[in-house]
Structure 1
Amino acid sequence: MKIKKIISIFLYISIIIVPLNLISFAEELNLSDILYTKESQKNIIPISVFILNCSCRISASDGYVKINASVVGKSNVNKTSIIIKLQELKSENWVDIKISSKKIGGKICSSSNSYSVSKNHIYRAMVIVSAGNESKTLISTSQRY
């Protein structure tokens, strides 16, 4: 009898806790991601209007940090761009230490930059990709060198 009671309590607690954990993984909604239609229609939240794919990667070795970024526009896009910001963690704040940009008159833009860095510091890349009239900000994982 005690085992049945313990199992039922465990199941009851599991039923309450599992949905709470799933909710914690929800992504925060940006107001800039919402398209408004006619008042009689509901809001539409698109994944992307002009950007088909984008990426940002960072790696550190031998005194350098390398940042690779790319953006691919959808078929109706005729201009793309990338702004790369190398950031360093200083006093618990991310500070821009290098900035570069690249613009292309087509639907594919990519950039690969290497920067000299100091040892025992933490770096990350913040990349702003644009295609058509849409832009997204990507932030890489942080890297200690």
Structure 2
Amino acid sequence: MRFKRFIKIGILAAVILLAMFSAVNFSSAGNFLKDNVLDNISKDAQNVGVTAGYNLDSPDDKALILVQTVINIFLSIIGVLLLVYILYAGYNWLTAQGEEEKVTKAKDTLKRAIVGAIIIVAAYAISIFVMSGIEQGTLKGAGGGSPNIYQPGG
């Protein structure tokens, strides 16, 4: 009885510590990537756009950024819930103690979680593809023509 309690407390402590330290590592890696690489790419792209004469402060861009942010937040929340679902399935499998019915139920839960992860990754990829297409389509001159077209009599 004491051993089971010790195992449960150990697993709970490991999950809590893993969650705490994983969040710290991911956030610091994300800040490094965002601050250094993505900001430089964004600044270079804005300089190219301004030099080419494009208006980068259009309200369409702000709406697009809002939609992208909402989609990213929504998919991130679903991803966190999926992680909790996977941990729940693993916990059920570990505590099944050899009972075939509980093991089968835990395996089914884990399979559903993996299918959910595949669907979320596919949804994220599709949303990035669609949003990049919308973004490229809203830029002026995206049809391939030059903004300084010669017009006879002008």
Higher percent of residues as helix: 2
Structure having the higher strand fraction is 1
Same fold per superposition (TM over 0.5): no
Q: Which has the larger radius of gyration?
A: 2
TM-score normalised to structure 2 length: 0.23
Larger RCO of the pair (alpha carbons < 8 Å, separation 6+): 1
